[in-house]
Amino acid sequence: MNFVEQETQGRVRLVFLNRPDKRNALSAELADAVQAALLAADRDPRIGAIVLAARGPTFCAGGDLAEFHQLSQRDPATLYDQGRAGVGLFGLPAVLGTPVVAAVHGHVLGGGMGLLLVAHLAVAAAGTRFGLPEMERGLFPYTVFPLLVRAVGERRALALALSARSWEAGEALEWGLVDDVVPEPQVLGHALALAQRMAAVSPLVVRTGLEAARAGMDALDTRMDHLVLLRNLALSSPDLRERASRFLAGHGPEGSPS
């Protein structure tokens, strides 16, 4: 199975998460495939913008809890290596020179919020639900948190992460997490139109503009190292193993529920 599907329309590369049977739960394989696709598009001189979307009824239901449960059984060195590799996707805002527009629908939870925040712009379908349910699973959204702080500020980011509540597209628009809310059938077309507009201007201006916007993100890679260590500490806790086991027994291996 191809975890990512890609299309090219003019100077726009469309990247689709393609794990719909698991609600596009962000497994290590899916994360690697998305990261590779975004980096390949960024390096392609024919591509001026990227749309990140998903197949199926949900954009991304969060991290794959079956994988988290397996990780909690591994030794610290292996856990660190795998964890560091897995967060490379969320470090992309510090390196991408090609604008990314996220087109989201259904649910955007946990690691799905990380994907949303990797994008420079976002369009959401009316009715989309967002959330960071990690606290209910015995975790904190460690590697997503720096991107969330950058988007909405530390106080709101903490409130969203600690409460584990979900919120609707209108609130996401009000807080600046998305830039437009449209009827679901229009989401992909609206995102594509935004991407085509950016792809039509000078690539040098776009790249230097994104570099200017990245000022202050130089330390993101170092912070990710620290956050991986914190996440690994939480992964080793009996509480996480118990909560993950209970959830998997009732719901299967897909990501966090709404």
* Residue ranges covered by each domain of the chain: 4-186+203-251
- pLDDT for residue 236 is more than 70: no
The pLDDT tens digits for 240-255 are 556 656 655 665 444 5
Give yes or no for a contact between 178 and 124, defined as CB atoms under 8 angstroms apart.
yes
For 211, phi then psi, to 5°, come to -65, -40
- pLDDT for 40 equals 98
- pLDDT for 74 equals 56
The pLDDT tens digits for 77-131 are 665 565 555 568 998 988 899 999 999 999 999 999 999 999 999 999 999 999 9
- CATH fold of 4-186+203-251 reads 2-enoyl-CoA Hydratase; Chain A, domain 1 (3.90.226)
- pLDDT for 215 equals 76
**Distance of alpha carbon 81 from its chain centroid, rounded?**
20
User: How many other C-beta atoms are found inside a 10 Å radius of the C-beta of residue 242?
Assistant: 11
What's the mean per-residue pLDDT of the chain? 85
Closest by CA position to 22, among listed 37, 1, 38: 1
Provide the percentage of residues in the chain whose pLDDT is more than 90: 64
Is 256 exposed, middle or buried, given 0-12, 13-18 or 19+ CB atoms closer than 10 A?
buried
| 204 vs 59: CA distance, rounded Å | 31
- pLDDT for residue 257 is more than 50: no
| 41 vs 223: CA distance, rounded Å | 26
pLDDT higher for 239 or 127? 127
Could you say which of 134, 136, 171, 174 is catalytic? 134
The pLDDT tens digits for 33-51 are 999 999 999 999 999 999 9
Is 186 exposed, middle or buried, given 0-12, 13-18 or 19+ CB atoms closer than 10 A?
middle
User: How many other C-beta atoms are found inside a 10 Å radius of the C-beta of residue 192?
Assistant: 22
This prediction has a pTM of 0.84
The pLDDT tens digits for 211-222 are 888 876 655 555
Q: How confident is the model at residue 28 (pLDDT cuts 50, 70, 90)?
A: confident
- pLDDT for 35 equals 96
The pLDDT tens digits for 160-201 are 999 999 999 999 999 999 999 999 999 999 999 999 999 999
The answer to whether residue 211 is catalytic is no
